[in-house]
Amino acid sequence: MSDGEVTKYPGGSAEVSWHGGLCIHISECGRAKGDLFVGGRKPWCQPDVASNDEVLDIVMRCPTGALSLKIADGSVPEKVSTENTVNVAYNGPLFVRGQLNIEGAPSNAPGLKFRAALCRCGQSKNKPFCDNSHDGTGFKDYGAVGETGKPCTEKGGPLTVRAAKDGPLLLNGNVTIVGGSGRNSWNGKQVALCRCGASENKPFCDGSHKKIGFTSDPEATGDDR
């Protein structure tokens, strides 16, 4: 994707940034108790109504990386989580959290180092990120995960995400996949996840992208599969 527009909400001691191209309007921010985000108010986000810790807590709820927080001294208070996880959403995207390195990610979205929503229906116009296209296209997958991977005692560390051209999402690093039911389903260090919507073994790639002639966006990088 291109860098896209970022709106900044400065406060006395911290600044919230919102990347409009990544937001899929899940409303974790708007539904949070308190007045940090109030729909219809100008400005929508007012960091001074809450402590920096409270602002950070709400910013970290954003599952797409659209929101990020910077303290007045320029530091970023969000810490990487100790575990990398992929949540397979019911009829929706892959919600990834952890120490992320998403190749080709826009440089003006620091939240993507921690959180991202990745398209798995194949229809997003903002690949590899979700843009809610699954809603209008009838994408159906409840997030059951049939495989278990390999038991692994190591957790966390860098997780690289590469969107293979016309193929799957290639994840490298310690990662746990959480199925749509909330079950910790799969552990491992390397996995290819379907992003064309056609795999019969979702969330894993089974090569179906070739059968359906899946075409990813021109910015996708990496090897063909």
Residues that bind ligand FES in the complex, under the rule CB under 6 A: 167-168, 194-196, 198-199, 205-209
Residue 65 or residue 128: which is nearer to ligand FES going by CB?
128
- How far, rounded to the nearest angstrom, does the alpha carbon of residue 124 sit from its chain's CA centroid? 13
Residue 104 or residue 157: which is nearer to ligand FES going by CB?
104
Q: Measuring CA to CA, which residue among 171, 168, 207 is closest to residue 188?
A: 171
Residue 171 interacts, among ligand SF4, ligand FES, none and using kind-specific CB cut-offs from 5 to 8 Å, with: none
Binding site for ligand SF4 (CB under 6 A): 18, 23-29, 62, 64, 66-67
Residue 171 or residue 194: which is nearer to ligand FES going by CB?
194
Least distance CB 172 / ligand FES (angstroms): 16
SS3 of residue 171 by DSSP: strand
Least distance CB 177 / ligand FES (angstroms): 15
CB 196 within 8 A of CB 119: no
Least distance CB 121 / ligand SF4 (angstroms): 17
Residue 56 or residue 205: which is nearer to ligand SF4 going by CB?
56
> What is the C-alpha to C-alpha distance for residues 39 and 13, in angstroms, rounded to an integer?
22
Least distance CB 218 / ligand FES (angstroms): 17
Q: Which two tokens stand for residue 108?
A: 């003006």
Q: Measuring CA to CA, which residue among 18, 19, 15 is closest to residue 2?
A: 19
DSSP 164-213: -TTS-EEEEEEEEEE-TTS-EEEEEEEEEE--SS--TTTTB--SHHHHHT
Residue 67 interacts, among ligand SF4, ligand FES, none and using kind-specific CB cut-offs from 5 to 8 Å, with: ligand SF4
Least distance CB 138 / ligand FES (angstroms): 17
> What is the C-alpha to C-alpha distance for residues 34 and 152, in angstroms, rounded to an integer?
40
Residue 89 interacts, among ligand SF4, ligand FES, none and using kind-specific CB cut-offs from 5 to 8 Å, with: none
Residue 166 interacts, among ligand SF4, ligand FES, none and using kind-specific CB cut-offs from 5 to 8 Å, with: none
